[in-house]
Amino acid sequence: MLILLDRDGVLNEQRSDYVKSPDELRLILGAAEAVADLCRAGYRIAVVTNQSCIGRGIIDTDMLSSIHQRLCDEVARAGGRLDEIFHCPDPPWAATERRKPGPGMLREALARFGATAAQTPMIGDSRGDLEAAAALSCPRILVRTGSGAATQAAGIPSHILPVAVYRDLAAAARALIAEDS
């Protein structure tokens, strides 16, 4: 089974000025271990992340690759793996269907892994993550890290419901693993 994860605010701490180098990447406590637990339980993990810092000219794709290598290395140190990272470089003012809340990246991940949307949870911290998942009928999980607490406090529109809410990725992973046991 496949699980889709947002990056900023789910795996790593969100920065208002973007993660611009590997040194600025700070994993959320327990996130790498949560990915490792999911991997040991037989899940494949795909990250689907908006990275408008590229479209804004703040970093280039080579730097993003270095940041993602650091992310993969941190997850591997905990015993896990990220099977694929999909990113969308579009800035908000030039968004394509790939940029969340558009479902394009999620659709690509499902196709790449031969997964069924209804059986592929999306774990995110923003309304955009949830809307992208709802557009394809993926189960929606909101974590309260990153923007998640504010997203929940703002109210989740009825067209996105149902949404399961957990404190962080570790709690969401434990629930998914227990549900499948």
Active site residues: 6, 8
Name the one residue in this structure whose structure tokens are 């990246």. Answer: 105
Cα–Cα distance for residue pair 108/100, rounded to 1 Å: 13
Cα angle for residues 84, 86, 92 (degrees, 5° grid): 165
Kind and range of the H or E run holding 40:
helix 31-40
Burial of 142 (0-12, 13-18, 19+ CB in 10 A): buried
